[in-house]
């Protein structure tokens, strides 16, 4: 497949669209004019992007949970509960894993079984199976804007249906919903399907309807150094902008060291704006999202609240535009609506208490500098590999390991680099693999890892990585040798 970063022509889009809508019977329910008309009834605080922009202006951090159950009525109940008892500012609808891999028939079966057994057997809301009208019923049952949250390599039909139904934000992207979310799908393929989603978004935009788009920041959620997720975010923002997207939220998953986390959010905003500007997209609005800790959680709920609070604190201190909330059930399973709302209230308390506060650490500048340098190095290498084309560059970058996501299941990912925490708990590069870093950056990371090795009296080694993966679940940030629970 030849992939290029250029706007789909109307003809290309139309042709592809026919195929997409035919992949499941609910595709028939989508009518663009009707969709535009419906979307236009949703204004002000009912629009995701508007609410984000207002928050950004006030330097407020909005809160949003993840949540989705298969059966429509139950899902509506869940959303209303989160509105009322979670005090959420933004609502999700988390899509089930069958839909995510386009197994609509399996989803149909799972939905049926869930109704039959009276309990959820799927991990999310199968929006495609429900179709446009049922999803509109959902939209009309709440007073809060809704976003589709998923992990779908080919999310074209899902976008068609949910946009037509009045969702005003859509998570995902061709890289961020490939590498962490599938095993064998080529990157060209997902970038292409996501060009479609972005073009669809652009089409709405051209018709006066702004839909917020959010590349998935945390990737595998496991020791992802900021520069890597930043590079993905920037590329996906550029790809989206090319198709006419105007409202983008770039994301980052809390790593655990406060200085690094605050620096990450600040640089994410700066870098994305810089690159969009540099490539001529001057009218794209950029906001940020911090995801509370995305790796393995402690099983104990009280400890989980501690992790949640520290994530919330980083969001609050960095003035991320929104924060994606975890629940005290995280380590065990999909939260009950009560547990989910608890995570929200805990987060809101922390966010509120930090609203007035700024984080002005002396080390912040160093951290910001290092993140920016490393991100730019990856971006420049990709651009070069793509001969000036971001889509091609992303593919070649991933292939060669210039853009390398740790622990990704996808075969396309090189998997050569290894991350680990340094002695202050910041995520660094233990082995750069083929990351295109300059000597300064490499030395910095190496020095940081050696500092830790000296402290722990063991060599810089993969054991550190394993210990770090377990660490937060066992009550600490850095995986020290011989650590016990708490």
Partner 1 sequence: MKKKTIVIGVIGNDVHAVGNKIMYRAFTDAGFNVINLGVTVTQEEFISAAIESNADAILVSSLYGQGELDCRGMREKCEEAGIPNILLYVGGNIVIGKQDFEKVEQRYHDMGFDRAFPPGTDPQVDIDCLHKDLKMDE
Residues that bind ligand B12 (CB under 6 A): 66, 94, 97, 100, 123-124, 151, 180-181, 218, 220-222, 294-297, 329-331, 333-334, 407, 409, 469
**Closest approach of a copy of itself to the CB of residue 344, in Å:** 8
Burial class of 1 by CB neighbour count within 10 A (0 to 12, 13 to 18, 19+) = exposed
Q: Considering just the CA atoms, what is the radius of gyration of the chain in Å?
A: 21
Interacting residues with partner 1 between 347 and 406 (CB under 8 A): none
* Residue 122 engages a copy of itself in binding (rule: CB under 8 A): no
Q: Which is nearer to partner 1, 252 or 297 (CB)?
A: 297
Interacting residues with partner 1 between 287 and 346 (CB under 8 A): 295-296, 299, 329, 331-336, 339
Q: How many CB atoms lie within 10 A of CB 279?
A: 15
The two three-digit tokens of residue 66, written as one number: 């993840």
Q: Which residues contact 26 (CB under 8 A, 6 or more apart)?
A: 128, 129, 130, 131, 132, 161
Q: Which is nearer to partner 1, 222 or 257 (CB)?
A: 222
* Stretch near a copy of itself under the rule CB under 8 A, chosen from 13-21, 66-74, 95-103, 352-360: 352-360
Among this protein's residues, is 428 annotated catalytic?
no
Rounded CA separation 304/459 (Å): 31
Length, in residues, of the chain: 486
* Residue 358 engages a copy of itself in binding (rule: CB under 8 A): yes
* Residue 62 engages partner 1 in binding (rule: CB under 8 A): no
Q: How many CB atoms lie within 10 A of CB 21?
A: 18
Looking up tokens 């520290």 gives 310
* Residue 169 engages a copy of itself in binding (rule: CB under 8 A): no
Select from partner 1, a copy of itself, ligand B12, none the partner in contact with residue 294, using the beta carbon and a kind-dependent cut-off of 5 to 8 Å. Answer: ligand B12
Select from partner 1, a copy of itself, ligand B12, none the partner in contact with residue 466, using the beta carbon and a kind-dependent cut-off of 5 to 8 Å. Answer: partner 1
* Residue 23 engages partner 1 in binding (rule: CB under 8 A): no
> Which candidate, 218, 191, 193, 227, places its Cα nearest to that of 417?
227
> Of the listed 100, 376, 421, 452, which one is catalytic?
100
Exposure b/e, 37-74, CB count within 10 A at least 16 = b: ebbeebeeebbbbbbbbebbeeebbbbbbbbbbbbbeb
Q: Are 241 and 281 in contact (CB under 8 A)?
A: yes
Q: Which is nearer to a copy of itself, 11 or 486 (CB)?
A: 486
Select from ligand B12, a copy of itself, partner 1, none the partner in contact with residue 79, using the beta carbon and a kind-dependent cut-off of 5 to 8 Å. Answer: none
Rounded CA separation 219/375 (Å): 15
**Closest approach of ligand B12 to the CB of residue 263, in Å:** 22
Site residues (vs a copy of itself, CB under 8 A)? 87, 256-259, 298, 300-303, 305-310, 312-313, 328, 341-350, 352-363, 423-425, 472, 475-478, 486
């Amino acid at each position: 497949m030849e992939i290029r970063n250029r706007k789909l022509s109307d003809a290309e889009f139309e042709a592809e669209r026919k195929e997409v809508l035919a992949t499941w019977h609910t595709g028939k329910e989508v009518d663009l004019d009707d969709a535009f008309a419906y979307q236009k009834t949703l204004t002000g605080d009912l629009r995701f992007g508007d609410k984000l922009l207002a928050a950004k202006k006030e330097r407020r951090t909005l809160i949003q949970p993840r949540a989705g159950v298969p059966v429509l009525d139950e899902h509506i109940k869940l959303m209303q509960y989160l509105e009322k008892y979670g005090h959420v500012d933004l609502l999700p609808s988390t899509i089930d894993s069958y839909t995510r891999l386009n197994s609509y028939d399996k989803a149909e079966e799972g939905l049926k079984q869930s109704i039959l057994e009276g309990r959820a057997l799927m991990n999310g809301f199968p929006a495609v199976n429900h179709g446009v009208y049922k999803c509109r019923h959902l939209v009309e049952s709440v007073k809060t804007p809704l976003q589709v949250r998923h992990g779908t390599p080919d999310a074209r039909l899902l976008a068609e249906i949910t946009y037509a139904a009045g969702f005003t934000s859509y998570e995902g992207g061709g890289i961020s919903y490939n590498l962490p979310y599938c095993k064998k799908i080529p990157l060209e393929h997902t970038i292409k399907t996501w060009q479609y989603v972005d073009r669809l978004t652009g089409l709405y935009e051209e018709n006066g309807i702004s839909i917020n788009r959010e590349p998935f920041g945390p990737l595998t959620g496991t020791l992802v150094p900021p520069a890597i997720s930043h590079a993905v975010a920037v590329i996906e923002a550029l790809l989206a902008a090319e198709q006419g997207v105007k409202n983008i939220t770039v994301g980052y998953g809390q790593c655990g060291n406060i200085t690094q986390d605050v620096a990450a959010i600040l640089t994410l905003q700066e870098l994305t704006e810089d690159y969009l500007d540099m490539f001529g997209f001057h009218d794209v609005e950029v906001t940020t999202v911090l995801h509370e800790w995305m790796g393995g959680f402690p099983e104990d709920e009280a400890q989980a609240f501690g992790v949640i609070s520290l994530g919330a604190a980083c969001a609050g201190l960095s003035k991320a535009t929104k924060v994606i909330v975890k629940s005290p059930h995280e380590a065990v399973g999909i939260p009950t609506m009560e547990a989910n709302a608890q995570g929200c209230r805990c987060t809101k308390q922390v966010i509120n208490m930090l609203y007035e506060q700024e984080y002005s650490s002396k080390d912040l500048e160093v951290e910001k500098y290092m993140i920016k340098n490393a991100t730019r190095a990856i971006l420049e290498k990709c651009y070069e590999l793509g001969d000036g084309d971001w889509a091609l560059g992303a593919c070649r970058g991933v292939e060669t390991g210039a853009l390398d996501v740790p622990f990704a299941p996808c075969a396309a990912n090189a998997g050569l680099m290894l991350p680990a925490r340094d002695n202050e708990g910041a995520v660094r590069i233990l082995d750069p693999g083929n990351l295109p870093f300059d000597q300064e950056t490499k030395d910095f990371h190496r020095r940081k890892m050696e500092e830790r090795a000296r402290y722990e009296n063991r060599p810089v080694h993969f054991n550190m990585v394993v210990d770090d993966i377990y660490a937060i679940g066992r009550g600490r940030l850095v995986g020290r040798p011989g650590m016990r629970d708490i």
